[in-house]
Amino acid sequence: MTDVLVCVKRVPDSSGEVLLTGDAQAVDARFVGFTVSAHESCAVEIAVKIAGVDGGAVTALTLGPAEAVEQLRSVLGVGCSAAVLVEADPVGFGPADVAREIAAVVSAHEAAGRTYDLILLGNDAADTGDFQVGIRLAYELGRPVVNGVKTVEVAGGSATARGAGADGGVETYRVPLPAVVTVLEGGVEPRYPTITGRMKAKKIMVETVVPGREPDGPRRVRLTSPPAQPSAVTVLGEGPSAAPAVVDLLRELGVAR
């Protein structure tokens, strides 16, 4: 059996306009709501598939406020069987702090006889862009790590991870288990929770723990939001007289001859 820990983060829904807080240390989500990032949704899908092959289990973990249980319930609804909330204000936690707290949960579970063959994370945080947690976590646990892959398979005591190569090909990595892997979106299609899945998720007790020590902080200077790209509209004409211009445009785009 392959038991997997998949780490997710409560992040603002970036489908709308992205605004920063007054101190430029976080994304202001008061008007957009929260979700799980696309990278992490793909990591959850990979975790559920891997565990489903040989009857393993998937545990979801997040560090965040009490409201982050909502995101844990969403991933429980698609196949995770257990969840852990490290309850804390994530704004005060840098990548090193987050990695240390995840490692503490893994160590505590191992001491209780609950081990993880594979730990999956999103390649980077959708709100702050931190790329460090996976590497720092692997260092804390003394495990091999592979970053930025799109698919992961497990067989014979090792994980095979594949991602895009620099020359447009595919890079393949094979590491012994237990291991840590960070996932990019695009390699798998995340599933959505069914009504039955949502109902089951509501009945699962979420384990809640508190951080083991005060965080050192992100040591972030500030976040910046790029200026909106200007858009332009070209009027081709009005009525039937615009038809020739439309045909010319379609030809230019290669959709008409």
Instruction: Check if the beta carbon of residue 183 is closer than 8 Å to that of residue 43.
Output: yes
Determine the 3-state secondary structure of 174 from DSSP.
strand
- CATH at 171: 3.40.50.620
The angle at the Cα of 46, spanning 41 to 51, to the nearest 5 degrees, equals 125
Closest Cα partner for 44 from 92, 4, 6, 96? 6
Domain count, the chain: 1
Q: What is the pLDDT of residue 23?
A: 63
Q: Determine, yes or no, domain membership for 253.
A: no
What are 154-166's pLDDT values in tens digits?
Answer: 999 999 999 988 7
Question: Can you give the residue range of the structural domain that contains 40?
Answer: 4-209
* pLDDT tens-place string over residues 112-122: 999 999 999 99
Q: Which pLDDT belongs to residue 122?
A: 94
- Residue 218 pLDDT class (50, 70, 90 cuts): confident
Within a domain: 80: yes
Query: Is 225 a domain residue?
Result: no
Measure CA of the first residue to CA of the last residue in the chain; give whole Å: 57
Specify if 229 maps to a domain.
no
How long a stretch of residues is the chain?
Answer: 257
Higher pLDDT, residue 166 or 36: 36
| pLDDT of 42 higher than 70 | yes
Residue 240 covered by a domain: no
Residue 120, token pair as written in the block: 């999956």
pTM, rounded to two decimals: 0.81
In Å, what is the CA distance from 32 to each residue of 19, 28, 148? 10, 8, 27
- The number of CA neighbours under 13 Å toward the Cβ of 92 is 10
Q: pLDDT band for position 83 (50/70/90)?
A: very high
Taking every pair of C-alpha atoms in the chain, what is the biggest distance, in angstroms? 77
Confidence of residue 18 (pLDDT cuts 50, 70, 90): low
Q: Is residue 162 part of a domain?
A: yes
pLDDT per position as a tens digit, 49-73:
999 999 999 999 999 999 999 999 9
Alpha-carbon distances of 110 from 82, 113, 116, 117, 125, rounded to whole Å: 15, 5, 8, 11, 26
246 phi, psi to nearest 5 deg:
-65, -45
Helices (H) and strands (E) in the chain, counts: 6, 14
Residue 195 inside a domain? The answer is yes
Q: Phi first, then psi: what are they for 40, rounded to 5°?
A: -75, -35
Question: How far is Cα 157 from Cα 170, in angstroms, rounded to an integer?
Answer: 22
107: in domain: yes
Position 251 scores a pLDDT of 84
